[in-house]
A and B are shown apart, each in its own frame.
Chain A
Amino acid sequence: MAAETNARWLPVAVSADILSGTVIPASLPTGPLAVWRSASGRLNATKDRCPHRGMRLSHGFVRGETLSCIYHGWRFGADGACRKIPAHPALVPPRTISCGPLPVAECNGTVWAAAKRPDHEPVAYDGYMALRSVVIAASCAAVETACQGARAHGASKTRLGGHDTLLVMNGYAPNAVLVIVLVAETMPVAGRLAISTALEALRRTVETWGRAA
């Protein structure tokens, strides 16, 4: 049962929010992860924990095609293997040292990750593009109730700011859900602003219910 749940793509970030040469923190229900994009633009995900002393790798930095831990500068490649231990510059790190890479994929301007590799690619929603992510202090169920949307291939179809949108969600903790709003690729800036404002109103509604409950 647990394995089945883990082999599932969940949205973790908006693609545009991870610039080349950067690393960001993200979350799955199984724990924190570091998502990083190399200088050449390649996207990678790993457990958010350096195997050396447990430091969160999302606090680290990206140089070229490697991710470095901020604590002791240990470097990891896209495959998760340790490439360099600065305290021992001449040492070739043993192949067994890995930061634990995780499956990651991008579509609709959204970054999807999984604790175990699913047997399919993430669902693509034709003509839609991620606009923005917010974290709502509530459960997925509460957010779905609030947006009253029909479910379609893992997304909630919701009217926000007078426009059709799709919400994809990742309830990574009992009281925290990452919501990414997908909008029509052709949406003009005014529509994007209205949707962003409406998304914040949705968050206020859901969180007010939570406080009232």
Chain B
Amino acid sequence: MILYDYILSPSCYKVRLLASLLGAPLDLRPVDFHPGREHKAAELLALNPAGSIPILVDGDLVLTESAAILAYLAAQKGGYWLAGDAPAAIARHQQWLDFSHRLTQALGGARLVEMLHFEGDLAALQTRGVAALRELEAALFVQRLGGQSYLIRDTPSIADIACFPYVALAPDGSIPLDPYPSIRIWMRAIRALPGFIEMPGIHRRHDLAPDPFAEVPS
């Protein structure tokens, strides 16, 4: 499987992260998104006329939407990361995958304006971003009341992976995460999953690594 990848793209990171959590190997093909705009050049447009990344190529199969790529990877590994059979769970799972597009547009849009000189109405993007974060915070609070750590149950699904990167990187678009305790606890759980990998702006949890100065007195 070849992933057309950009190191700073949260959507590409979703795919790399899930692949790492699943232990699924990927061949990475770096795309010069910035400053080269290679995703808008002929070779990649032939693969994906939308001019976006990630693109996953597996034999004859070409996938260009990150949620579809996540579903494809998860399905190959037995479906533990998918919704299961219950109608309500299938629907809630799909709802969060759809919700993740709002995060991409609002939080991701603000990030591109603030970080990489893209055009956009920053204030409007931030307002929509805050609204989406408040929805997510409320939903995760409800999950906690029911003793569940993740979006649809007590174990993670690809819905969590689809939402996590743009939320974690909201501060890149000048949208603080300070007001959202349930989001903080949820992100902390994701960052502790075996096989978790980081991307720039999302630090690993140093507290999980062995302490090189274990004898430090308190």
Contacts and interface: CB of A to CB of B under 8 A. Distances in A.
CB atoms of A and B under 8 A apart anywhere in the complex?
yes
A134 B206 contact: no
A77 B217 CA distance: 9
Contacts of B142: 193, 196
Interface stretch (A59-67, A99-107, A145-153, A157-165): A59-67
Nearest to B130: A137
Given A62-B207, A78-B218, A135 B145 contact: no
A75 interface: yes
A129 interface: no
Nearest to A18: B181
A206 to B, nearest CB: 14
A38 B146 CA distance: 26
Contact of B181 (A14, A65, A78, A83): A14
B17 to A, nearest CB: 20
B194 interface: no
Q: How large is the interface on A (under 10, 10 to 19, 20 to 34, 35 or more residues)?
A: 35 or more
Given A24-B184, A133-B181, A189 B218 contact: no
Looking at A19, A132, A189, the one whose CB has the most chain B CB atoms below 10 A away is A132
Majority secondary structure, A binding face:
strand
A135 B182 CA distance: 13
Interface in A149-200: 178, 189, 192-193, 196, 200
Contacts of B185: 17, 19
Contact of B218 (A22, A26, A66, A68): A66
Contact of B179 (A38, A63, A134, A189): A134
Interface in B159-180: 178-179
In the A-B complex, the 6 residue pairs with the smallest Cβ-Cβ separation, listed nearest first, are A65-B218, A17-B181, A135-B179, A61-B207, A25-B178, A61-B206
Interface of B: 134, 138, 141-142, 145-146, 178-179, 181-182, 184-185, 188, 203, 205-207, 211-213, 216-218
